[in-house]
Structure 1
Amino acid sequence: MPVHQQQLPALDDIQPVQQPAIDPGQSLQRRFEAFHALNPWVLRRLEALTANCVAESFTRVGIGMLFELLRWRYGQATQGDAFRLNNNIRSRYVRLLIDRHPEWAHLFETRALRAA
């Protein structure tokens, strides 16, 4: 097995995504919090992917790359389940990753939040 495949985080806790009820007047932050509360495994997978990047000596990590890897791994672990991970919440996940792992702050580029 190629080394890069041995290094990918396990698929053991990938679960069907639960979508929160949509309230059009709700802020992006509230929508993120609702999604995260229903899908805590997404953060665990993003943490595992980031830790893998750190172990591989990455100096920069893009949340877009992590989202696409997670989508790909989800597709490998499930069948027929549409995986909807909204790109609008990527910035919230970056900030949560940095809050939980301040030593990773240098890996991610963040910008000022435009939407509350």
Structure 2
Amino acid sequence: MPSRQPRLPGLEDIEQLVYPDHTPSASIQTRFEAFHELNPWVLRELERRTAECVEAGWRRIGIGMLFELLRFRYGQATRGDEFRLNNNWRSRYVRLLLERHPDWEPLFEVRALRAV
């Protein structure tokens, strides 16, 4: 039975890429970078959703909520990880969002990284 979840245009044409550093023994940061390289749309979509929240007047946003929205909408659209949208990447994506949009810093709670 075909998936009924929306797919991002063109993803069906992308082959599964395998990076030598995308192994369970690699650091979380290395695995995140490999995932992010394979799935640049995730950051764009997180930015879009965050901007919508800002426009709506939200004062706090949880990255968990944003991840669940992406899972709901695009659950089958990621490449390069056994989990479609790994919770280990949440803190890394928040940091990327804040690098690109420093004015969003009050919106997110950022804790020290436990593992690099």
**TM-score where L is the length of structure 1:** 0.76
Correspondence list, 1:59-70, <5 A: 59-70=59-70
Give ranges in structure 2 of 5+ residues lacking alignment. Answer: 1-6
State the one-letter code of the partner of 2:60: R
Asked if 2 retains the 8 angstrom alpha-carbon contact of 1:15 and 1:41, the reply is no
Q: Which residue of 1 aligns with 2:4?
A: none
Moved over 3 A (4+): 11-22
Asked if 2 retains the 8 angstrom alpha-carbon contact of 1:71 and 1:83, the reply is no
Aligned residues: 102
Does residue 53 (structure 1) correspond to residue 53 (structure 2)? The answer is: yes
Q: Which deviations, in whole Å up to 9, do the C-alpha atoms of 1:90-113 show, x marking residues without a partner? A: 000000000000010110001000
**TM-score where L is the length of structure 2:** 0.76
**Which whole-Å CA distance do the structure 2 matches of 1:56 and 1:14 have between them?**
30
1:53–1:35 CA distance, 2 compared to 1 (3 A): same
Give ranges in structure 1 of 5+ residues lacking alignment. Answer: 1-10
- Per the alignment, in what secondary structure is the counterpart of residue 98 of structure 1? helix
Quick one: percent identity of the two aligned structures? 62
